[in-house]
Structure 1
Amino acid sequence: MNTIAHSTPVAIASARTPSFSPWRCYWLEAKHELLRLLRTPSFVLPTLLFPPLFYVLFGVVLAGGRSGGDMGRYLLATYGVFGIMGAALFGFGVSVAVERERGFLTLKRALPMPPGAYLLAKMAMAMVFAAIISLILAVIAVSLAKVSLQPAQWALLFAINVLGVLPFCALGLCIGAWVSGSAAPAVVNILYLPMAFLSGLWLPLQILPAIFAKIAPVWPAYHLGQVALKVVDRDGGGSLALHLAVLGVVTVAFFVLARARLSRSQ
């Protein structure tokens, strides 16, 4: 005797519908955020090209192999920080401001996706660009600047750059939450370039007027730069715990400010 199983349309639809996976939402959001930025030349070209070009100019051409590669090692660490700052500040500060003004954040809240997927996708994007910048600088340092480091030092520099985007992601998020989309690029540039110079990322603070060394600790870029410089034994001798504590406080403080602003604008 043959038995024919009768299935209701609801049962068939349920069987064909894939189960909800929050991890898939995170993955897809991060993937499409990365693809979106890779297709934006105004972001990807300056972000990936400026740090290597500056490093070639100051760390290779002007240094000329002097001091046994000390300048090459110093600028390898600091231009890594300079590069990841740009990826985080522009990736968050400008894009969040524009998307907030256009109502994109409101649309995201209405979608059936985990609430943190939007921010985590942008953080993942910044980390990917930080990793790419670190690898490009490492290749230039080895091939042109003749920098020689231990494998552990290379690994630490890479980790510092990838994780070091977090304070600047929080700062960029705060800018994007408070500033209009049209003003965000100007605000980011006004903050980004002077902070990099005043933190000793372009040139060592020792060769600049003494006032620059005194005010440098007010900038988060200085503290991340000092952490990176400790890896290559070129830091100013400050406390590693203090530098990490400042970066942690900056990350939490700017994230809280941004969250408060975005909550009020809902």
Structure 2
Amino acid sequence: MNTIVADGFSRRATLALYLREAKYEFLRVLRSPAFSVPTLVFAPMFYLLFGVLLNHGNVQAASYLMATYSVFGVMGPGLFGFGVGLAMDRERGLLTLKRVQPVPALAPLLAKVGMAMIFAACIGVMLVALGMTLGGVNMQASQVALLLCVDILGVVPFCALGLLIGTLASGNAAPAVVNLIYMPLALLSGLWLPLRMMPEVIQTIAPVWPSWHLSQLALKIIGQDSGRPAGMHVAVLLGFSAICLFLAQRRLQRH
């Protein structure tokens, strides 16, 4: 009986540590407007310009860009939250400090993932609201729910990529490295313009990028994807995440 009570208390204490770490991570991000404001605003702002104003009356374009800009938006919290945040924490010695504290090893990383998912959910909700009110997009409740799930869960591969970047780049170099990866990935995956409007070579290599696979899952919900099976896209994203996490873990073990 005492063992059961002790185990229950231990689980509650561990859960409290995870929740406390997530709370502090979220508060830290909110107190950094240089990160939180652009992350939340860029994708909806670009959608207003390209999806609503420049394609006024074109519901198909508004639907396509709503889905792809949601993917563009959710890439940011994962890449910048991990890529820049982890690089700075590592350089300042915060990771070393966390290791000697009575905190589960995964707590800081899971807190960052939770933060990225919250930002992804906010971005997805804003884009769906803009699309359905100003863009003329017509979606059923089930489609909205599925798109938000893709956005929230789709941030994980980019958290993994950001984690890898954060283990490789210095704190000063990380923002530039992330931008050098973030913007080309968005362009080459057809997140800003449909791939059919781009050179054939870009269309051919698009399946190489994880952002293309995530965008295909989002576009499948509104019936504008390339027609490839969803399982293939999910498998590629899971494999990509696993590779990035494996390489990042090896790098972290050396520090």
TM-score, normalising length: structure 1: 0.91
In proportion to residue count, which structure has more helix? 2
Match of 1:235 among 225, 229, 249: 225
Query: Identity percentage over the alignment?
Result: 52
Looking at structure 1, the residues matched to 129 and 213 of structure 2 have their Cα atoms a distance apart, in angstroms, of 25
> 2:215 aligned with 1:225, yes or no?
yes
Secondary structure of 1:34's counterpart equals: helix
- Uncovered stretches (5+) of structure 2, i.e. residues with no partner: 1-8
Match of 1:32 among 24, 48, 54: 24
2:132 counterpart residue number: 142
Match of 1:61 among 26, 46, 53: 53
CA contact (8 A) 2:132 2:139 kept: no
Match of 1:252 among 242, 245, 251: 242
- 1:108 is aligned with what amino acid? K
Structure 1 residue runs of 4 or more that deviate by more than 3 Å after TM superposition? none
Shift of 1:185: 0.3
1:12 counterpart residue number: none
Shift of 1:239: 2.1
How big is each residue's C-alpha offset from its partner over 1:80-137, in whole Å with a ceiling of 9 and x where there is no partner?
A: 1000001110000000001001110000011101111010000000000000001111
CA contact (8 A) 2:18 2:111 kept: yes
Q: How do 1:1-266 and structure 2 match up within 5 A?
A: 21-66=13-58, 69-265=59-255
Looking at structure 2, the residues matched to 233 and 212 of structure 1 have their Cα atoms a distance apart, in angstroms, of 22
- 1:45 is aligned with what amino acid? V
Looking at structure 2, the residues matched to 208 and 63 of structure 1 have their Cα atoms a distance apart, in angstroms, of 18
Looking at structure 1, the residues matched to 125 and 215 of structure 2 have their Cα atoms a distance apart, in angstroms, of 17
Secondary structure of 1:234's counterpart equals: coil
The number of equivalent residue pairs is 246
- 1:30 is aligned with what amino acid? A
CA contact (8 A) 2:74 2:151 kept: yes
Moved more, 201-210 or 224-233: 201-210
- Uncovered stretches (5+) of structure 1, i.e. residues with no partner: 1-17
Looking at structure 2, the residues matched to 114 and 95 of structure 1 have their Cα atoms a distance apart, in angstroms, of 19
Shift of 1:153: 0.4
TM-score, normalising length: structure 2: 0.95
Secondary structure of 1:154's counterpart equals: helix
How big is each residue's C-alpha offset from its partner over 1:148-200, in whole Å with a ceiling of 9 and x where there is no partner?
A: 11111000000000000110000000000111111100000000001001000
Looking at structure 2, the residues matched to 133 and 249 of structure 1 have their Cα atoms a distance apart, in angstroms, of 25
CA contact (8 A) 2:214 2:237 kept: yes
Looking at structure 1, the residues matched to 135 and 23 of structure 2 have their Cα atoms a distance apart, in angstroms, of 34
CA contact (8 A) 2:196 2:203 kept: yes
Secondary structure of 1:193's counterpart equals: helix
Looking at structure 1, the residues matched to 218 and 41 of structure 2 have their Cα atoms a distance apart, in angstroms, of 21
How big is each residue's C-alpha offset from its partner over 1:66-86, in whole Å with a ceiling of 9 and x where there is no partner?
A: 2xx111111111111000001
Shift of 1:237: 1.2
Looking at structure 2, the residues matched to 76 and 214 of structure 1 have their Cα atoms a distance apart, in angstroms, of 23
The structure that has the greater radius of gyration is 1
- 2:101 is aligned with what amino acid? L
2:6 counterpart residue number: none
